[in-house]
Chains A and B, each alone.
Chain A
Amino acid sequence: MMFLSQLKGELRKLFARKRTYIGYVVFLVFEALLLTLWVQVGRDQFEALAKRNFVPVELLSSSLTATYWIMGFSMFLLGSIYFALVAGDIVAKETEDGNMRMVLARPVSRLRILVLKYFAVMIYTVSFVIFVGVTGYSMSLLAMGSEGGLFIWNPEMYILAIYPDRDEAFWRLFIGACFMGLSMCVVSSLGFFFSCLKIKPAAASVMALSVFFIDFVLQNIPFLVNYKDVFITFRMANWVYVLQENIPWDRIVESYAILMGLNISLFIFGWMAFQSRDFKT
């Protein structure tokens, strides 16, 4: 009970800060821009593409397909920036501003403080992904209407799937969004880990993004294609398998077990660094 009330306090701190909302605003603008371009410029091209490939045009240019595009193609690159920013701040900013001394003067263990902060960051991460999904879908509905199914084409992950049934498409996409939220927790864990070190908050965010993008670049280098499995970003992209016609659950479970192990390791290393630190003026 006390943990929940303390977590509420941590979330109150997180969501009372204006910078927490930068990502939300940017994504809303981005979604509006993408949908406008989709409707104004992309629709004709989709129709032509549909005709060439004998695919019903309402599959290619539908609100669900647009939502998949918004989430699938923007979250990794754009979303990661905000997760790294918020997670990089969570400990380091309080230390820099001096709030941490006020917190540490209380009868609460450092482990408890970090667990509260980690939970708050994870809640932010998952809720952010869901927010993007909900707003993306809502705006797509306004722009394109509710008709049409879902068309998935992801050459990097070797996935081509068509869901003409709107209900099945919706649920597939919803479950996919949940897994994507779990995937993005890795970026937040990276930011959290660096935030626990004795570095500035901006440095923590930059370090987290650096690790993430280096991994992403390496994963996409052609001669490393046979080693894709060892890269974090490849494992993170496994959420998309939920959209494959026959879901490879064994692959998904394996990937998320690895990602969870990584998250736990990053938390433990961050805690060890935080625990050994002296806090002075």
Chain B
Amino acid sequence: MLSVRNLTKKFAGKDALKGISFEVSRGEIYGLLGHNGAGKSTTLGIILSMVAAGSGEVLIDGISVQKDPRQALRKVGSIFESPAFYDYMSGWENLKVLVGLSGTFDGEKAREVVERVGLSERIGSPVSAYSHGMRQRLALAQALLPEPEILLLDEPTDGLDPEGIKWFRDFVLGLREERGMTVLFNSHLLSEVEQMCDRVSIIRAGELVYEGAVNDLRDDRPALKITADPPEALREVAERFRGEQMPGERWVFPEETVIPEVVSALVEAGVALSELTPMRRSLEDVYLEHSQLK
């Protein structure tokens, strides 16, 4: 459904993207992870034809965004972090103006979508009176009109309260369930990516440093946070158990490792333990390892 091929981009002579490539299949929810300035928004900008790629190509359902942006974007609905509406107009008028740019505005269809996003009662109020959550619902409504096949979400849950985040997540998952909607989800909220996405890629400094299924990314190997003295003795014991040192005094052991045996071995080796905490290696850990922030 979406094919991003070898995208490069420079801003003021500096590389913002260095050959990003990934594919999103129909009906898949794909997460783009990366810290601020990593290149996520630039990638999204190129997909939406708002940013000109230095080189490379984006295909949406086989149509090149670079060659025929109008045709390619017909299948796309998008939501940005802090969506900017015309505050002095009502939600309904905003929908009319924005959806009108895609073709004819179908009032009946719009009413259905507005009801679905739970905005029926306030759709006639000026957007200036909307809360952040209501703006995000309006953004969702405009993205779903007319019927897109792929949704591009740029940090859509930023600033939402936990209830709003859950509502948004359930709504998007429901869209995939009902319509087989394809979603590209750009976020730095790892828990959201973990709960929503099938596959994920991590972008760091304009480079794609990881791509795979969310389940593959999650690591269920036993992990311990160990603060001990002397560190050389700790290392020797841990390595005997084929432990792998991670940032932040953490050690990850093979799946079959029996942790009490590791603890006994440390005690027998005369290692003075000041902290030993079992840990689950989260998606966040994996993300930070790949993005080399830790």
Contact = CB atoms under 8 A, between A and B. Distances in A.
Interface of A: 2, 5-6, 9-10, 12-13, 16-18, 97-99, 101-109, 113, 276, 278-281
B96 to A, nearest CB: 6
B282 interface: no
B70 A109 contact: yes
Given A6-B101, A108-B70, A16 B85 contact: no
B50 A279 contact: yes
25 contacts: A2-B103, A2-B104, A6-B100, A9-B97, A16-B86, A16-B88, A16-B93, A98-B82, A98-B83, A101-B80, A101-B84, A102-B80, A102-B83, A102-B85, A105-B73, A105-B152, A106-B73, A107-B69, A107-B74, A107-B76, A109-B69, A109-B70, A279-B50, A280-B41, A280-B42
A5 B100 CA distance: 7
B241 to A, nearest CB: 47
Contacts of A105: 48, 50, 73, 76, 78, 80, 152
Contacts of A10: 97
A87 B231 CA distance: 69
A98 B84 CA distance: 5
**What 5 pairs across the A-B complex have the smallest Cβ distances?**
A98-B84, A107-B73, A106-B101, A9-B97, A279-B50
B84 A107 contact: no
A279 B84 contact: no
Contacts of A280: 41-42, 45, 50-51
B45 A102 contact: no
B1 interface: no
A101 B50 contact: yes
Given A101-B80, A278-B51, A106 B102 contact: yes
A197 to B, nearest CB: 17
B272 to A, nearest CB: 51
B98 interface: yes
A279 B42 CA distance: 9
A104 B86 CA distance: 15
B71 interface: yes
A254 B105 CA distance: 43
B70 A278 contact: no
B50 A278 contact: yes
Contacts of A12: 89, 93, 96-97
B80 A13 contact: no
B136 to A, nearest CB: 13
Most buried by A among B78, B80, B97, B101: B101
Contact of B142 (A16, A18, A102, A104): A102
Contacts of A9: 96-97, 100-101
B198 interface: no
Contacts of A113: 101
B51 A107 contact: no
Contacts of B78: 105
B52 A108 contact: no
Given A99-B84, A99-B85, 17 more contacts: A5-B100, A9-B97, A12-B89, A12-B97, A16-B89, A97-B84, A98-B80, A98-B83, A101-B50, A102-B84, A102-B85, A105-B48, A106-B98, A107-B69, A113-B101, A280-B51, A281-B81
B187 to A, nearest CB: 14
Given A16-B86, A17-B88, A278-B52, A102 B98 contact: yes
A40 B103 CA distance: 57
A251 to B, nearest CB: 42
